[in-house]
A and B are shown apart, each in its own frame.
Chain A
Amino acid sequence: MASAPKPPAGHFNILYFASASSFTGKDHEALPAMLPLRNLFAELESRYPGIKAKVLDSCLVTVNLDYVDVSGEEGSDDTVLQEADEVAIIPPERLFLCTIPPQNGPPATSEESPPPRMLLVVTAKSTDAEHQAKD
């Protein structure tokens, strides 16, 4: 994702990569702002049923390039996503995901395209700590 267009007033941008992009059929979209970070996954689940268990639960999240805690547990981040923020769903290392791509091309990016059929998810998770250590 080189850069998403500036989101409309009152919205933030969310970027989807790899498996998250395959599931949503998008590489970015604008969502209404002033969304508590802890509600982000629920909001996405309502838009893309099944995404939480299949994709998001193993993903990391950045807000304006910094990794944040979206575990939803007590003590987790009480950030509220603001207008013009850039949020990204970061599929973790060691996660493999299979998709059936559109014919003759890269994964769908246009909003009109139906999401590709999802197949599976797998395997060993890297820990946040390991990831953050590289940060």
Chain B
Amino acid sequence: MVTSQNTKEVWEKSEDGCYVALTHDYLNVQDTMDRVRDPGAGAIVIFAGTTRDNFDGKPVKELQYSSYQPRALRSMLAIAQALRTKHGLKGIAMIHRLGTVPIGEESILIAVSSPHRQAAWRAGEEALEECKAGVEVWKREEFEGEEGVWRANRDGAVGQREEE
């Protein structure tokens, strides 16, 4: 499902050092990093999730992401706020791309800043895992020469296919 005709549209929410967004545009690493920049930070960790050209060895042509935007933003903000508190972060930004994402491009960026690097490393990883498990974004993989497959937006086991 393509969620919007307007390719410049961005859905975003921010609060107290937390920024979350969904967009159909190309993701900009520098912009995302700058959102968490803070004079009290000794580290910024940034994670970029990119679209892989295969799933379980099968060639993937492209990926499409769809979302329930207002609901997904609420979930993303809740994750960001919880991690900011838990790890004492200075800032956290999470932005997910929607629509068609060509192979090799970023589908998600996560940036976190903290006074010391250990907390930033940990928070960055947790943020990604929580996002994949609990945000209302769905991924569809288009395989070369095959039907597409909807997946929850996380890596995981291959679904068994049973034709009716």
Contacts and interface: CB of A to CB of B under 8 A. Distances in A.
A78 interface: no
Interface in A1-36: 1-2, 15, 17-19, 21-22, 27
A62 B67 CA distance: 14
B9 A2 contact: yes
Interface in A88-135: 88, 90-101, 106-107, 109, 117-120, 122-123, 126, 130-131, 134-135
Interface stretch (B29-37, B39-47, B142-150): B142-150
B154 A109 contact: no
Interface stretch (B84-92, B101-109, B115-123, B133-141): B133-141
Contacts of A117: 164
Given A88-B71, A90-B68, A96-B159, A22 B150 contact: yes
Contacts of B78: 134-135
Interface of A: 1-2, 15, 17-19, 21-22, 27, 62, 65, 88, 90-101, 106-107, 109, 117-120, 122-123, 126, 130-131, 134-135
